[in-house]
A and B are shown apart, each in its own frame.
Chain A
Amino acid sequence: MITFIVRRLLTGLVLLAAITTLGFTLLYLGGGDIARKILGENADEQTVALKAQELGLDRPVFAQYGDWVVNALGGDLGASWFSGQPVAAAILSRLAVTLSLVTGAVVLIAIISVTLGVLAATKREWIDRVAQVIALLGFAIPNFLFAVALVLLFALTLGWFDPTGYVQFTTSPSGWAKTVTLPVVALALGGIAAITQQVRGSVIDALRNDYVRTLRSRGIPARRVILKHVLRNAAGPALAVLAVYFVGLMGGAVIVEQVFAIPGLGQVAVQATTQGDIPLVMGLLVATGIIVIVFNLLVDLAQGWLNPKVRLS
């Protein structure tokens, strides 16, 4: 188990190095005149040159990358070129926001998908058709469109939630709930569609196994058979899809955070990438890379716990 974890972490480090190198290269290739972007249309050429010098943009790209790597290894990710805020602080202040959205969405997806998927597989009939319709809608409706519809109905028409903004949980739990509920629901829709289908299919497959027939023939109640044996076997593939979705949700948060004007990683990622804020984008690559690597490791460990056949040694 320890060897497995160490190996996965080392692979993760290599992956992180590859991501940051590629990211830095791409940012420089498509970056254009960054000093000009920072200063805008009214700055004269002399000031633009001074700004480029101040940021070290007049040095060779390799030297700039080398400095970034050395500083990053020392824990210094630099400061945003467009706000002056230290990158680590910018990411940490937004990480909690995005993680609260994504975690909320994952929990919502898990609860609804497992419930609906199991009911659809075991009861069939109308509940199955409902699950199919929900899945279809979930796949068909882009989450930004769903987000806009949620805002129109629940925030602007009914006034139940705030249409934009974010309140920290520590400032006001009710304010927090009013600002995160709609984004979480908007984020979860696609995942609910995919995971419900996955759970439904896996449960139907598991129900056809001999051991299920055996358990039933021994008089074990159907509910116990499903929850203790079938669901455990069916959970593996669903968990794998959920892991993929978690990463997808980090991406989906980009759009949802824009619609709801939520100060999360997605919103800052859009801004930083559009602007060419290289220190911030590099910091975001590192942060999201670490999150994805750690999350996938946890999913692998959970898979082993759920299914002895893939248990790690």
Chain B
Amino acid sequence: MRFTKAGLAAALAAGLALTGCASAGSDTQGQTSKSLTLGNVLAPATFEARNLNWGNQSIYFQAVYDSLLKPSPNGKDVEPHLATKWDYNADKTVLTVKLRDDVTFTDGTPFTAEVAAQNLLRFRDGTSPQRSKILDLADATAKDKTTLEIKLKQANPAFLIYLAQAAGMQESPAAFDKPDVKTNPVGSGPYVLKTSDTVVGTSYKFEKNPKYWDAGSVKYDRLTINVYNDATSLLNALRGKQLDAAAVGDNSILPQVEGAGFKLNGQNLNFAGLLLFDRAGKTNPALGNIKVRQAINYAVDTDAMMKVVALGRAESTRQVFREESHAYDEKLNDRYNYDPAKARELVKEAGYPNGVELTVPTSSAFPKQLWPLLQQQLGDVGIKVNLVDVGQNLIADLQGQKFGLSYFTLQRDANEWQLISNMLSPTATWNTFKYQDPKVDELIETIRTAEGDARDKALKELNTYIVDQAWFAPWYSQTLYFVTNAGTNVELNAGNAWPNLWNITPKA
């Protein structure tokens, strides 16, 4: 009997606790107009400034660190930040930067040109995924307390943009060797990470930096960034009004997100299609033949791909450059209109009357509905696609030149040089076979140093050439969305999935 009473009492107590507490109100998620809660699909890999990444992780770093320059929302230009003025020498290999003299890190250490030089050199010598972008950096030295001199091995038209991203983030030198530097950042940014309330990998809590030098630009007292590993939990958080804004990686949940009262702010960010890496035909001679590469472009019905793979949230394109780029040419989008007959003819003309076989990697990272369509459409023109599942090794296998082509979505940087450095130049990460073409090399060198019309002309010529040469087979630029609730405004950042932190603001 005692057992029964005890059991019943425990059950009752538990039940009361649960139901009673559940109705107790909204104290746990209580938000005021001064707090901002964001949803992200990625957690920061590290807060250590020398190893920072960018893209989806940029929002965390803009909270705690200041960069030398500020990226403009157009993704191409930069604005003053810790640096107030900057000038290149004639051949653009020496950059002189004037810095603010009123900035201190949250540990009290003053920000100086010497600190900026150390941070830049540490980034170049670190292991950040963005490190390759500033390999042109030869040296950085402090000329005086507020003057930084940066020497480059060669002119780099995107260098100022890099100083506004991960490479330009400034960490207190006192934190350089701290054992917890990866999870406890010390910067001079608008917010301070509250490590006691943060669950690494899941939820990051920030509080306003009370001594921030640009206090007027900080619109919220508290900032929370929650990480959602799957689309369902992100959707539930949005529908449950637990978030003010979020970057949505999976477009399939957008109708429900919109139904929950969120505004969909989209931009055509990445391009999707086939990357034809092996333009010299090392792994498959057929890929070295321009007619086969062009046939691949003609063979794919991009409208069908957009509908099936991108769920209609995309814009057809045959170019890797963004629409607002000086390289972009609307006419090039008609260069490879869907024409299976022409594709078949090109395959035969290329010397393959019995067709071509291509080995294409598949991975769980790619949409499954893509493959039947691709195999059917290429098969129709005599190109047989053999799929090989590479499991978790996709990127390593692609970079290791194991495949001559692959389906992929690649970020289209707003700054043309950034895009060229990532996809086209002989050292570009996504020119995996390091393919070189004298004409492309010549145009890239022109773009490196030219200005104004001469530069724009070279960009257009480069784009036209690689479209004609079928370096890629782009299908569409995918629209990605940053969603905001009724109380939040946003100005998107061209070329980046996340807007700049200061461009997320409360509605008046």
Contact = CB atoms under 8 A, between A and B. Distances in A.
Interface in A290-312: none
Nearest to A272: B201
Nearest to B197: A171
B240 A47 contact: no
Given A30-B392, A83-B183, A155-B236, A90 B200 contact: yes
B469 interface: no
A41 B427 CA distance: 15
B21 A173 contact: yes
Contact of B236 (A43, A151, A175, A224): A151
Contacts of A90: 200-201
Contacts of B132: 42-44, 46-47
B45 A32 contact: no
Contact of A83 (B4, B45, B53, B131): B45
Given A32-B392, A173-B21, A163 B201 contact: no
Interface in A152-173: 155-156, 160-167, 171-173
Given A44-B429, A160-B22, A178 B28 contact: yes
A111 B239 CA distance: 33
B232 interface: yes
B242 A165 contact: yes
B347 to A, nearest CB: 31
B233 A83 contact: no
Interface string B177-221: 000011100000000000000011111000000000000000000
Interface residues of A, number: 71
A43 B55 CA distance: 13
Interface residues of B, number: 61
A288 interface: no
B17 interface: yes
Interface in B444-463: none
B396 A33 contact: yes
A79 interface: yes
Contact of A175 (B4, B27, B233, B392): B27
Interface string B1-31: 1011001001100100110011111011100
B228 interface: yes
Given A163-B236, A227-B1, A276 B22 contact: no
B232 A148 contact: yes
B238 to A, nearest CB: 9
A93 B199 contact: yes
Contact of B131 (A43, A79, A260): A43
Main secondary structure of the interface of A (DSSP, over half): helix
Interface in A251-270: 258-261, 263, 267-268, 270
B334 interface: no
B285 interface: no
Interface stretch (B82-90, B104-112, B122-130, B484-492): B122-130
A47 B124 CA distance: 10
A172 B129 contact: no
Interface in B119-151: 127-132
Contacts of B233: 164, 258-261
A39 interface: yes
B14 A271 contact: no
Contacts of B427: 44
A178 B22 contact: yes
Interface in B266-280: none
A86 B127 CA distance: 19
Contact of B228 (A84, A164, A176): A164
A263 B199 contact: yes
A107 interface: yes
Contact of A263 (B44, B201, B422): B201
Interface string B31-49: 0000000000001111110
Contacts of A32: 391-393, 396
A210 interface: no
Contacts of B21: 173-174, 176-178
Contacts of A178: 21-22, 24, 28
A290 B364 CA distance: 33
B131 to A, nearest CB: 5
A41 B395 contact: yes
A52 B55 CA distance: 23
B183 A84 contact: yes
Interface centre among A43, A228, A276 (most CB of B within 10 A): A43
Contacts of A100: none
Contacts of A54: 127
Contacts of B500: none
Contacts of B23: 160
B225 to A, nearest CB: 13
Contacts of A36: 395-396, 399
A43 B429 contact: yes
A159 B160 CA distance: 48
B22 A177 contact: yes
A260 B46 CA distance: 25
Contact of A39 (B44, B129, B181): B129
Interface of A: 30-33, 36-48, 50-51, 54, 79-80, 82-85, 90, 93-94, 107-108, 111, 114-115, 148, 151, 155-156, 160-167, 171-179, 181, 223-224, 227-228, 231, 258-261, 263, 267-268, 270-271, 276
Given A82-B45, A167-B28, 20 more contacts: A39-B129, A40-B129, A41-B395, A42-B411, A44-B132, A45-B399, A82-B201, A83-B44, A83-B45, A83-B46, A83-B183, A111-B10, A155-B236, A160-B22, A163-B242, A175-B29, A178-B24, A231-B3, A261-B229, A263-B203
